[in-house]
Each structure stands twice: as C-alpha cells, then as structure tokens.
Structure 1
C-alpha cells in the first residue's frame, strides 16, 4: 500500500515538474525574448491590417492623375488640368488638382505602409476613420498646419493612397471641413481605383 502511494506521489511530482515552463495546455511560460528598443511604440502588423481589407490593390504603376475622372473633377469644382508631380516626403508620384480656394492632391505611396502613421514614425496626428470602400482609413493632421488635412487609405501591405485637401491662406472659411473634403476626394479616387483593379 505504501509503495502504491509513493509511486502515485512520485508520478504526480514528475508531471508537475515536467509542466513547468511549458506553454501548452494553458500553462503560463516566462517570456525570454530580449527587450526591443521599439517595444514601447505601438505598431500595426501589416498582416493585421490586411485582414480588414476586402482585397489588396497595389498602387505600383498607377497614375494618380487618372484616379479622378473629369466628371469627378467637376463635382469638386476643379477647373484646371491636373498637374503630375513627385512627393519628396514619400518618394512617390502624386497629382495636384487646383480649385479657386485651394488644392486637392492624390499621392500613390508605395514606399511604406499606413502603419508608419499609426506607429508614430511620421510627424502628424493620425485618427482612425470609417473605412472607404471597405478599406481601412485614417485622417492625418500635421502640427502647426490648420489649412490642410489628409486621409490615408490602406490598400495593400506597404502601400496606401494619400488624399490631401489644402485651402489657400485667407480662404479657410470657404473650405472649413478639410478632413471631410480630403475624405470625399479619397472616396472619389477609390471609386476609380476599385473599378479598374
């Protein structure tokens, strides 16, 4: 009888010792990963962002000027021809659409993902927005700039569509809701982009 109890106790002790440090079966295990310098900075995983997109739309080779149709330009009171350019900040192609009170701009960012704004790698305040055409979106405002607002639409891993609305100095009252204007312009561009991709 004593031998049976001793064997049962020994077996139980071995089972408990063998379970220490294992993460299976719900047992907590210590984290042995060395601390990272960026651990305190929140980052958005590209795969997490991808899971909320209805699909992926690559911007490589896309002409930003072609994302706003003539009919859409009329809706935004754009009377001049769009001007293609390059964004030094993003090292990406963009297109400017001038109005009587300011300018709209579309940039096809292919050099970084939208998580650059969420993680604080870029200067600016990012606020989550309702999705545009099912794609995650954020509004971006820059410090000391009360005349513009941008909306970034997460279209693919490492890429996003960046729509900016900027009002000319002295005409702020004519375009008071700049973030809403930037969003509407992004919606127009996304309508074209989703239809052609």
Structure 2
C-alpha cells in the first residue's frame, strides 16, 4: 500500500462548482480511471504546504494544532515539501498536505503498485483521485491534478486508535480539506 507510506511520516458527475468534490468514475484498476481535463494550470513550485489552509479554514475543519513543515520522501511521490496539522476537537485527527512538483496525477492513475480503492473526483473543477486504503482503514487521501507534472496530496487520518473514525468520514473530511486547500491556492 504505497500511499500509506506518507501517513507513516505524520457515481458519475464530471463537473462541480468551486469548493465541491464530485465523483467522475470509480475503478479498482488505476489504468481505468478517466479524469476530466483541468480547468487551468496552477503551478505549485515554491508553495509552502503549511500556507494552504488559512487559520479560519483550519478552525472550521477542526485542526487546532500548529502546522509543522517537513520533507516527505517515499517511492511514490519522491521528495515533497509537506505539512502536518493535528486536530483534537471534536475528534483526534491528523492531516498531511504535500506539494508534489516533480510527478503528476498519472503516478496514481496509471501505477500498478497502488492497491487502494481509487475514485475519480473533481475538486473545484480540478481532476482528482480519492484513494481509499483497503487494508489500513484509519485514513483516506485525495490527490489533486493542479498542473502538468504536479499534484497536491491530502491525507486525512484518525489521530488515535482508541477513538476510531469510520473511513467514510475520513474520506469526506479529506475532500473537505482538499476543497479548502484549492480555494486558498486559487486566491494567490
């Protein structure tokens, strides 16, 4: 489960309005995922992932921890500038945001090594993939195609095993974080 490595460090609409995520296609086979074209390119070179969520957005999402920057490194995304933010109220969660500037969404949609259940979605009109792990059920992620060869990786996880959160809720909240991050990115 390749996408789960990032966590260790810390159906059929094609369009959606700003701030929404809408399913595009569902497939267990990555090579079968069809994504719509991105509405425009939004280059993320030099973007601080900790700046992708404003203080108001973090409060609305229940993320009351201090953003912590780090560089993640794994086989799927290589080295990426990343940020981790914890939340304690109303539940314990952890969010990871990574700015991947040297690999595009194809790494997910055409990678035979991804064992997650993948669903094509849109986030504010941008093509994205919701990755639902089938083995580890304590997190969910959204990969957003923002530019050729670039993507945003959003991971949303429960913060403690003692307080389990249903994976459907984690996936819903991963999409909410993705929507907020894109909204913030588009205001730059």
Question: Are residue 95 (structure 1) and residue 83 (structure 2) matched?
Answer: yes
Deviates more, 1:108-117 or 1:55-64: 108-117
The residue aligned with 1:82 is 67
Compare the two structures and name the one with the higher helix fraction. 1
Look up the SS of the partner of 1:88 in the other structure: strand
Using the size of structure 2 for normalisation, the TM-score is 0.73
Is the 8 Å Cα contact of residues 79 and 98 (structure 1) preserved in structure 2? yes
Aligned residues: 152
Compare the two structures and name the one with the higher strand fraction. 2
CA apart distance, 1:164: 0.7
The 5 A counterparts of 1:61-72 are 61-72=46-57
The 5 A counterparts of 1:176-191 are 177-191=169-183
Gap runs ≥5 in structure 2:
1-29
Distance 2:118 2:48 in 1: 27
CA apart distance, 1:130: 3.0
Give the structure with higher Rg (CA).
1
Task: Output the aligned Cα RMSD.
Answer: 2.3
Using the size of structure 1 for normalisation, the TM-score is 0.70
Is the 8 Å Cα contact of residues 138 and 165 (structure 2) preserved in structure 1? no
Structure 1 residue ranges (4+ consecutive) displaced by more than 3 angstroms after TM superposition: 41-44, 173-176
Gap runs ≥5 in structure 1:
1-40
Is the 8 Å Cα contact of residues 67 and 192 (structure 1) preserved in structure 2? yes
Structure possessing the higher relative contact order (Cα contacts under 8 Å, 6 or more residues apart): 2
